[in-house]
Amino acid sequence: MSAWVLPDHIADVLPSEARHIEEIRRDLLDMARCYGYELVMPPMLEHLESLLSGTGEALDLQTFKLVDQISGRMMGLRADSTPQVARIDAHLLNRSGVTRLCYCGPVLHTRPAAPHATREPLQFGAEIYGHAGLEADLEVLTLTLDALKACKVGVLTVDMADARIVGSLLDESGLSSAQKNEVLSALTSKDSSALAELTQSCPQPVGAALRGLVNLYGNADVLQQAREELPALPGISQALEHLQWLAGHLEGVKVSFDLADLRGYAYYTGMRFSIYAAGASDALARGGRYDEVGSVFGRKRPAVGFSLDVKVLAQAADMRPLRAAIRAPWGEAAALRAAIADLRRQGETVVCVLPGHESEVDEFHCDRELVQAAGQWVVTAI
């Protein structure tokens, strides 16, 4: 095999696509800043016990591992930035009030999440720490929607669920931890036959509710159906009430519910959502509440946030027109060099044609050129 062949599900990003991804990354960061989120840059690798403790345990199989040649300790390449940001909030910032943080950087996965997915997503996310109310949940939802709208991805649909619904039922199920994990897998795949077998030993109302969850999806009518069919456990009643409140505050988007939805990261403790765009095969963004994420770092704080893969988002977003550039001759004359520098200070892209390469392909589609007229360097249309 040739040395230049890349590993499976790893790819170079070439100029036009890289420009598109970078423009989207900037729009996402600008939108987060408009909401008051501070940018952090966690390291690409950490000691393994830090990455895989607490909520990070679910990432074990997705994490590349290596030995630190300085300390001899095991290290890991991050597969998700959320546990790192929780560590930053807990130990480095250590603020008592609300903290809003955002980030954007590559993560690495040992296996692709889907048949044609990359193993090197460019993860963008934003998180609020220190506020347990619905107001923070709604802020994260609206930020996610505004960020996606800024990237021009078309009509959006918000699909909502709540981890407390399944959690409350499993708490009353009498099942072992291993059996609960099997039930979660069956719910994720909506395997009704497996659920029927796994819940035979559950108390009747709980078993019936777990089996019925796979059919609780659709529009707002699902919430009323859930109130009628699910046991009136405190966690379930509160979850349904919160979902209805949040959905009622979302404007300009279609809202649906899938009360058995367990996709995404396993650390959610409350409201969770996935946002889809017309024509996209999978969710462009996922988020929700994960109040346990900082516990392992000794500082449990309410937390809610979302994340997305900028590379996936770029595939769904409209390609923006390339900003045309100015073509200029190469030369040592002070006046020419000053004219080029002045144009670049104004934000123009100026491409100097190097000697002997005047006939090469114009990658920037120059629509103007810098020419000398009456002793002055001026820009004219091509």
Phi–psi pair at 38, nearest 5 degrees: -90, 140
Strands 254-258 and 156-162 turn out to be parallel
**CA 297 → CA 43, 53, 66, 90, distances in Å?**
17, 9, 23, 6
State pTM to two decimals. Answer: 0.90
Is the pLDDT reported for residue 68 higher than 80? yes
Is the pLDDT reported for residue 107 higher than 90? yes
Is the pLDDT reported for residue 296 higher than 90? no
pLDDT of res. 274: 96
Within 13 A of 182's CA, how many CA atoms are on the CB side? 14
pLDDT of res. 56: 63
CA–CA separation, 343 vs 294, rounded Å? 49
**Residue 115: pLDDT band with limits 50, 70, 90:** confident
Share of the chain above pLDDT 90, in %: 77
Q: Nearest CA to 287 among 268, 269, 306, 302?
A: 306
pLDDT of res. 361: 66
CA–CA separation, 336 vs 342, rounded Å? 10
Q: What is the mean pLDDT of the chain?
A: 92
pLDDT of res. 263: 76
| Torsion of the alpha carbons at 53, 56, 57 and 63, rounded to the nearest 10 | -110
The tens digit of pLDDT for each residue in 235-248 reads: 999 999 999 999 99
pLDDT of res. 168: 94
**Residue 381: pLDDT band with limits 50, 70, 90:** very high
CB 287 within 8 A of CB 306: yes
The tens digit of pLDDT for each residue in 72-90 reads: 999 999 999 998 999 999 8
Q: For the residues 275-288, what does the mean pLDDT come to?
A: 91
CB 288 within 8 A of CB 271: yes
**Residue 1: pLDDT band with limits 50, 70, 90:** low
The tens digit of pLDDT for each residue in 247-278 reads: 999 998 999 999 988 876 677 899 999 999 98
Q: For the residues 24-34, what does the mean pLDDT come to?
A: 97
CB 126 within 8 A of CB 37: yes
pLDDT of res. 264: 66
Is the pLDDT reported for residue 294 higher than 80? no
Share of the chain above pLDDT 70, in %: 97
Is the pLDDT reported for residue 188 higher than 80? yes
pLDDT of res. 269: 92
pLDDT of res. 266: 72
The tens digit of pLDDT for each residue in 347-365 reads: 999 999 998 887 776 778 8
**Residue 55: pLDDT band with limits 50, 70, 90:** low
Give 153: exposed, middle or buried? Use CB within 10 Å, 0-12, 13-18, 19+. buried
Q: Nearest CA to 77 among 66, 91, 90?
A: 66
Is the pLDDT reported for residue 317 higher than 90? yes
CB 305 within 8 A of CB 287: yes
pLDDT of res. 120: 97
| Sheet containing 64-67: order of strands | 45-47, 74-77, 64-67
pLDDT of res. 46: 93
Q: For the residues 210-221, what does the mean pLDDT come to?
A: 94
**Residue 12: pLDDT band with limits 50, 70, 90:** very high
Kindly state the tokens that stand for 44. 């690409």
